[in-house]
Amino acid sequence: MLDDSDDTDIHALFAGAPASTEFRKLRKRLVRETRAAIEDYGMIRPGDRWLVCLSGGKDSYTLLAVLHELQWRGLLPVDLLACNLDQGQPGFPATVLPEFLTARGIAHRIEYQDTYSIVTDKIAPGGTMCSLCSRLRRGNLYRIAREEGCSAVVLGHHRDDILETFFMNLFHGGRLATMPPKLLNEEGDLTVLRPLAYVAEADCDRFARAMGYPIIPCDLCGSQDGLQRVQVKQLLDAWESRSPGRRQVMFRALMNVRPSHLLDPALFDFASLFPKDSNLS
């Protein structure tokens, strides 16, 4: 069992980790929850190569560390290639990630594509850049995955991202949908994986900060305080503060769907739902 392992016997990405009992419990919880999501959603095909997307944020550092820990323990029989896409945002510290990855012996590819200029050309001043930026980033990551012989693009979205996306779709998109832990792309040649699907954002934050990873902020394009996602996050934070554990309860609901108790006739055959004929005289 993972919890019975020697805490000194860990991957280099955990080098310098705090020796406290609290941190050891956090590390083991991250590994356990990530392993559970990988197994529950059948993410592993032995011998595959995964493109692990590294933005420099707390979530992607956590993803990188935990996947390498699982691989190193023989629990993740795939090849891992870390990848950072430098999109040309002003002030982006281009040397941070290459130095971090090289120092730890992590196989990686750094790609420069100035999508920032495209976004600023298409989006009016004061507009939200995230949607177009995300689409351009995804297209480049798919291309890189194909060039590197990878079968999967692996992202650092966690439980809270998934829950927030559900509520954004509910409030603004008029649909019940979110980011699934495993998705086949439209072309059918790549899977998109989210192994941190069970992991709380707060745990990613605690882990990355405790490890002292060089976190790169995601607000290089300017303030995004008016984003719908920020508003949803604030709403969920308020619910969580009033009822601790509310996020986890809502997340479990996404795994306990009952089509017969919703309203989509494409998911449940309401038309043929009638009582059985009776022979009452």
Q: Give bridge partners of residue 79 from the DSSP assignment.
A: 49
Find, among 44, 58, 33, 26, the residue nearest to 251 by Cα.
Answer: 33
218 is in an annotated binding site: no
Residue 83, strand partner residues: 53, 109
> Rounded to an integer, what distance in angstroms lies between the CA atom of residue 65 and that of residue 52?
11
List the one residue out of 89, 97, 160, 76 whose CA is nearest residue 130.
89
Q: What span, in angstroms and rounded, lies between the C-alpha atoms of 136 and 281?
A: 68
Q: Within 123-227, where are the H helices?
A: 130-147, 159-168, 201-211
* Residue 204 marked ligand-binding: no
Coil, strand or helix: which one is 191? Answer: strand
Can you say which residues are annotated as belonging to the binding site for [4Fe-4S] cluster? 130, 133, 221
Can you say which residues are annotated as belonging to the binding site? 130, 133, 221
